[in-house]
Amino acid sequence: MPQIAVEQLSKVFKVPEREGGFIASMGSLFRRRYREVRAVADVSFGVEAGEIVGFLGPNGAGKTTTLKMLSGLLFPTGGKAEVLGHTPWKRESAYLRRISMLMGQRSQLQWDLPAMDSFQVHGAIYDIPKPQFQQTLDELIELLDISSVLKKQVRTLSLGERMKCEICVSLLHRPDVLFLDEPTIGVDIEMQARIRRFIGEYNARYGATIILTSHYMADVTALCKRIVVIDHGKLLFDGSLAELSTRMAPFKVIKIDLDRPVDDYAFAALGDVMSCDDQKVVLRVPRKAASTATAKLLNDLPILDLTIEDPPIEDVIARVFGTRESDSAGDGKASMAEATTRRVK
């Protein structure tokens, strides 16, 4: 059995709405109108123990709503889920002690107190034995390199320092399952790399199961062998990054450095010319034709260097969402969810 099992999970919010102005405001006191917003629509997937799964989608896709249901913060409208053998929204103490959720845009630290005070409070709430608390705290302080900020008020910390403290307090009770919602949001590139490195080390050390959402594709490519993509609350894809690239972007990118400019060569006959600047050319060719195109280029041109790459993952994800919108607008076309979902555990 997977450690996280989600089956036909859905969430519908009832959102009040009214026109602007005083009259509409007074009328809403007696007759309020509501609109239903389907945030998650029959999503199903499973996550095995020790996996790090990237949970991707545009803003409003339903990622955070799904994680909130799995952490017990929201009740679903339909479907079921089991995490570590528990139903999350029952919020049993035995379950809450084994999970943690970190939201990059929410703080769980006391703003006007030193970070160490929040750590102590967290240890008391979870009733962590003192020897274990101190050992875990020392390990996290060393891994995150936060010894110099523990006595500072949280409101005086930089965003990067605060995010590392947020990670620390989330892991003091050594959770078996970790839900990370934008853990690197707003921090600089160096800090993003350090946080990614720490998450990987924590997973390797404790075998924690992790679901990660992020708009930074570097987070996903560095940590996740598998991704789940959703949009408008529906599951679009569940599989490896390589499979997503093969399925949704069936082409290769060929980058060429020339010894001298070649103005009259018909690059367009081999594929799409993405850029052509003096002695540098970037082509996009069908995946199956990449070897033939490469051989022809090497034979015909004075090439100093040539590389063949998969398209950037950002482009692949954008292509997924673009196809989804195109299918939704068409009549009688199969939905993107049916076209790209590989498996549902």
Residue 333: its pLDDT value, please?
38
pLDDT at residue 325 greater than cutoff 70: no
pLDDT-derived band at 324 (thresholds 50, 70, 90) equals low
What's the confidence (pLDDT) of residue 27? 81
Q: What pLDDT is recorded for position 341?
A: 40
Average pLDDT over residues 205-215: 90
What tokens does 262 get?
């070649």
- Tell me the pairing of strands 303-309 and 251-258: antiparallel
Q: What is the pLDDT of residues 32-43, one digit of tens each?
A: 888 888 999 999
Model confidence band, residue 277 (pLDDT cutoffs 50, 70, 90)? confident
Q: How many CA atoms lie within 13 A of 212 on its CB side?
A: 30
CA nearest to 11, candidates 41, 44, 47, 34:
41
Q: How confident is the model at residue 221, as a pLDDT? A: 86
| Residue 335: predicted pLDDT | 40
Split at pLDDT 50, 70, 90, the class of 190 is confident
250-309: in CATH 3.40.50.720: no
pLDDT in tens, 176-186: 999 999 888 87
Give the global pTM. Answer: 0.76
What angle do the packed helices 130-144 and 159-171 form, to 10 degrees? 150
Task: Give residue 124's pLDDT.
Answer: 92
CA 167 to chain centre: 16
Q: Are 284 and 253 in contact (CB under 8 A)?
A: yes
Tokens in use for 97?
């002690």
Asked if pLDDT for residue 321 goes beyond 80, the answer is: no
- What is 4-244's CATH topology? Rossmann fold (3.40.50)
Distance CA 74, CA 71 (A): 8
Q: Can you give the pLDDT at residue 331?
A: 42
How many Å is the Cα radius of gyration of the chain? Answer: 25
In the numeric block, the tokens 């707003």 are attached to 186
d(CA 188, CA 151) in angstroms, rounded, equals 23
pLDDT at 340: 40
CA distance linking residue 173 with residue 140, whole number of Å = 11
Q: Shortest CA distance to 181 belongs to which of 100, 124, 75, 242? A: 100
User: Between 57 and 329, whose confidence is greater?
Assistant: 57
pLDDT in tens, 58-77: 888 899 999 999 999 999 99
Q: With cut-offs at 50, 70 and 90, classify the pLDDT of residue 30.
A: confident
CA angle 260–264–268, rounded 5-degree value: 105
Q: Are 200 and 223 in contact (CB under 8 A)?
A: yes
Q: Give the start-to-end residue ranges of the domains of the chain.
A: 4-244, 250-309
Helix axes 130-144, 115-125, angle to 10 degrees: 140
Q: What is the pLDDT of residue 334?
A: 39
User: Is residue 106 helix, strand or coil?
Assistant: coil
Residue 160: per-residue pLDDT: 83
Is the pLDDT at 343 greater than 50? The verdict is no
Predicted confidence band of residue 344 (pLDDT cuts 50, 70, 90): very low
For residue 42, the SS3 value is strand
What is the rounded distance in angstroms from the CA atom of residue 169 to the CA atom of residue 121? 10
Got the DSSP string for 261-326? --SS--GGGTSEEEEEETTEEEEEEEGGGHHHHHHHHHHHS-EEEEEEEPPPHHHHHHHHHHHHHH
Rounded to 5°, the CA angle 225-226-230 comes to 145
Q: How many helices (H) and strands (E) does the chain have?
A: 12, 13
| Res 176: pLDDT | 94
- Say what angle helices 313-329 and 241-248 make with each other, to 10 degrees: 50
CA gap 70, 60 in Å, rounded:
17
